[in-house]
Chains A and B, each alone.
Chain A
């Protein structure tokens, strides 16, 4: 089967893909296709269905500026509500007609002769003049490669691929990890299981979750007075910006948030042994600061044990910790994070002269402005390298990139430009800038081992080490001078999709 497609292919139907597709349509640009390996819009909020899954940024901010939702149920909405919001936005923005689901990308290859990308998926081949990987950086679960895991006879799954068919009631369960997912999973399942053993490599900083359930009157207020919702959103945005000096390790700012975390620990825990176990040994902010009111209480339940040691391996029926002690369990839930520093999709992208993205990125991912990579023309990333945040809403970064990429697409298409490739010197300058800004921040000097740093080079590749508004200032719009431009058009004007 062969069908005509359009000039632009967007891969990924999460927040990033929706933002870009909406922006394109709002600019009157319809010649794009959007594909995703899942079965609907929603990305990470479609996939992470684990019990207790909620947002860590206030929902009135963690949502699109162009589609405010006055009816958020509470400060930090849950997974289902956020997923519903995203599918609602996709419907309202008319994106379903542009979308094709169940398309897992297997390869993306640049063809210099006709200046097109060929993207092969599990069921089809797409050709497009411009490709955007809106695949996110927290999309592929990471399960540690530990000895004996294959021999373990119990049940195992990752929090991002929760097995809802598996009945946890009355089971002896292990949770591996104490990061953002674990601190939501553990309180949510603690009362259902017979025993719960939580393995901790390093203790996270936890602060109170100021979670307010909005009354009907408040929702109606936000509906009737959109300015009130915008004013609240503005406040939240700039309040988050004000936290950035914490990440720069400015003492006055660090002390303030450290005091909040310490007071929270001491208010919720009396047992000095547990208090010692949950007290972090690095500077606050080096890893993600977590928000929870029920994490510490859950750890104090009689049938819950916190093992302050990493997992060393598995036997047929047990998890073995770093000291060699075995813990018999029926089920292991990996809350072990995602392939963040090395984007899995990089292995599947081949640019000029067959150059593979993961080889170019062998010492860590690098992209000009987090969007473009030299040697990979007509390709843009969204929510890829360099743009993760330690204090703020990623949606702001995503919308900034959506505007930038939509601007680029229009520039290329309207001027019938065949090829744009970021100038390598601009990319190098940008990478230097990131390294300079990262120096002295808590991410590089905070004394922790976090996924923010590339394990191969020790460089900060996943985080935007500056205020969010600085990113908007520098990358709020596409600047053609940053790119090598070849004027002749690509030949995908009547591009094709070949289903095999």
Chain B
């Protein structure tokens, strides 16, 4: 085991222990792994909320007292990206799964529909998100798994609502251009929440990035846990170069 530490940052709707239930123990065989959860206060404006998340990460990494590998998923990718751009001396590497550069019109309309549904009935917003979380292929074949996983929509709360509002307006262009640490981008080619084009845009912007597209929806860690882990493990071993487009093998 190395002494290096990986900090895992979850996305909008799922706490870190659930989001990384599979990835964390796999990584812990070779690294120290820290789960980072973030939260906000209800009265603050959105810029302050995002800044608050960033500050919480800054404090958490300062407490660790050493540079870390950052792995951010979805909204967590933006938080990780922002930190890596502004505190690069404290970041050994950056991995962004299901990330994007800036929210586009399609994403914005989805978030607005989500917010409308939430205001009517939070459970409905949870169902919308759940419906778009997985790739059509995964949903179609799920029952053919030997131990079929049960997929159940969660009911969002006010914290998640604030995060969705932040998602509506996200633009990490400036921070992405400043990234200097080795970076891995993992993207789902069938992601209904973050188009593959949005991930391409991120790849074009981060000069140090290698890009790993996978045949999955936004639920990369559910649909392709093994592929995400394998790709990330190889990245941590220095197997990818900046600018590399990583092709998956056909099993």
- A234 near B250 (CB under 8 angstroms)? yes
Asked if B21 CB lies within 8 Å of chain A CBs, one says: yes
A88 touches B (CB below 8 Å): no
B149-196 contacts to A (CB < 8 Å): 149
Query: Closest residue of chain A to B216, judged by CB?
Result: A238
A470-B233 CB under 8 A given contacts A75-B144, A234-B215, A257-B147: yes
Determine if A291 and B146 form an interchain contact, defined as CB atoms under 8 angstroms apart. yes
Tell me which residues across on chain B come within 8 A of A289, comparing CB atoms. Answer: 146
Per-residue contact bits, chain A 291-308, to B (CB 8 Å; 1 contact, 0 not): 100000000000000000
Tell me, rounded to whole Å, the shortest Cβ–Cβ distance linking A399 to chain B. 9
Most buried by B among A58, A65, A238: A238
- On whether the beta carbons of B227 and A230 are closer than 8 Å, the reply is no
Q: Determine the chain B residues whose CB is within 8 A of the CB of A233 once the complex forms.
A: 250-251
Once A210-B146, A472-B249 are accepted as A-B contacts, the answer to whether A250 and B137 lie under 8 Å apart by CB is no
* C-alpha spacing A75/B144, complex, angstroms: 9
Stretch with Cβ within 8 A of B (4 or more), from A239-247, A366-374, A443-451 = A239-247
Q: Is the CB of A470 within 8 A of B230?
A: yes
Q: Which of B144, B215, B225 makes the CB contact (< 8 A) with A242?
A: B225
Number of interface residues of A (CB under 8 A): 43
A256 touches B149 (CB 8 A): yes
A469-B144 contact in complex given A248-B25, A248-B26, C-beta closer than 8 Å: no
Name the CB-closest residue of A to B141: A235
Provide the residues of chain B in CB contact with A234, threshold 8 Å: 215, 250-251
Task: Tell me whether A244 and B147 are in contact (CB under 8 A).
Answer: no
Complex Cα distance, B228 from A469, in Å, reads 11
Q: A238-B224, A238-B227 are in contact. Are A65 and B251 (CB under 8 A)?
A: yes
CB of B149 within 8 A of CB of A237, answer no
The distance from the CB of B222 to the nearest CB of chain A, in whole angstroms, is 8
Q: Is residue A457 within 8 Å, beta carbon to beta carbon, of the partner chain?
A: no
Is the beta-carbon distance between B25 and A245 smaller than 8 angstroms? Answer: yes
Of chain B, the residue at the smallest CB distance from A65 is B250
Inter-chain contacts of A237 with B (CB < 8 A): 251
Chain A residues lying within 8 Å of B143, measured Cβ to Cβ, are 210
Cβ of B147 and Cβ of A207 under 8 Å apart? Answer: yes
The digit string for B217-229, where 1 denotes a CB below 8 A from any CB of A, is 0000011111101
Instruction: Tell me how far the C-beta of A23 lies from the nearest C-beta in chain B, rounded to whole angstroms.
Output: 15
A260 to B149, CA, bound (A): 10
Question: Is A217 an interface residue, CB under 8 A from the partner?
Answer: no
Please name all residues of chain A whose beta carbon is closer than 8 Å to the beta carbon of B222 when the two chains form the complex.
242
| Chain A residues with CB under 8 A of B149 | 256
Distance, CA A250 to CA B223, complexed state (A): 18
The interface bits of chain A over 245-271 (1 if a CB of B lies within 8 angstroms of the residue's CB, else 0) are 100101011001100100000000000
B29 touches A (CB below 8 Å): yes
Partner pick for B226 among A58, A238, A248, A436, CB 8 A cutoff? A238
| Interface pair B22/A245, CB less than 8 Å apart | yes
**A250 engages B144 (CB within 8 Å):** no
Q: In the bound complex, what is the Cα–Cα distance between A58 and B222 (angstroms)?
A: 20
Interfacial chain B residues near A58, Cβ < 8 Å:
144
In the complex, chain A residues whose CB is within 8 Å of the CB of B25? 245, 248, 250
A422 vs B76: C-alpha distance when bound (angstroms): 45
Complex interface residues of chain A between 318 and 361 (CB less than 8 A to chain B): none
Interface contact A250-B230, CB-CB below 8 Å: no
Give the nearest-CB partner of A242 in chain B. B225
Question: What is the CB-to-nearest-CB distance from A283 to chain B, in angstroms, rounded to a whole number?
Answer: 15
With both beta carbons as reference points, the residue of chain A lying nearest to B140 in the complex is identified as: A235
Q: Is B2 an interface residue (CB 8 A)?
A: no
| Chain B 224-251 interface residues, beta-carbon cutoff 8 Å to A | 224-227, 229-230, 233-234, 249-251
Q: A238-B226, A241-B225, A241-B227 are in contact. Are A473 and B234 (CB under 8 A)?
A: yes
Q: Which residue of A lies closest to B250 (CB)?
A: A65
Contact A467 B226 (CB under 8 A): yes
How long is the Cα–Cα vector from A204 to B225 in the complex, in angstroms?
Answer: 27
Q: In the assembled complex, how far is the CB of residue A182 from the closest CB belonging to chain B, in whole angstroms?
A: 19
Q: In the bound complex, what is the Cα–Cα distance between A244 and B233 (angstroms)? A: 16
Q: Does B138 contact A (CB under 8 A)?
A: yes
Nearest A-chain residue to B21, judged by Cβ: A252
**Closest approach, in angstroms, between the C-beta of B138 and any C-beta of chain A?**
7
When each residue 57-84 of chain B gets 1 if its CB lies under 8 Å from chain A and 0 otherwise, what string results? 0000000000000000000000000000
Contacts of B215 in A (CB 8 A): 231, 234
- A467: chain B residues at CB < 8 Å are 26, 226, 229-230
Contacts of B21 in A (CB 8 A): 245, 250, 252-253
Between-chain CB contacts (< 8 Å), 9 pairs = A65-B250, A207-B146, A207-B147, A210-B146, A242-B225, A260-B147, A437-B29, A469-B230, A473-B233
Not counting A236-B141, A245-B225, a sample of 13 additional A-B residue pairs whose C-beta atoms are within 8 angstroms of each other reads: A210-B143, A210-B146, A238-B226, A239-B145, A240-B146, A242-B222, A242-B225, A243-B147, A250-B21, A250-B22, A260-B148, A396-B251, A437-B29
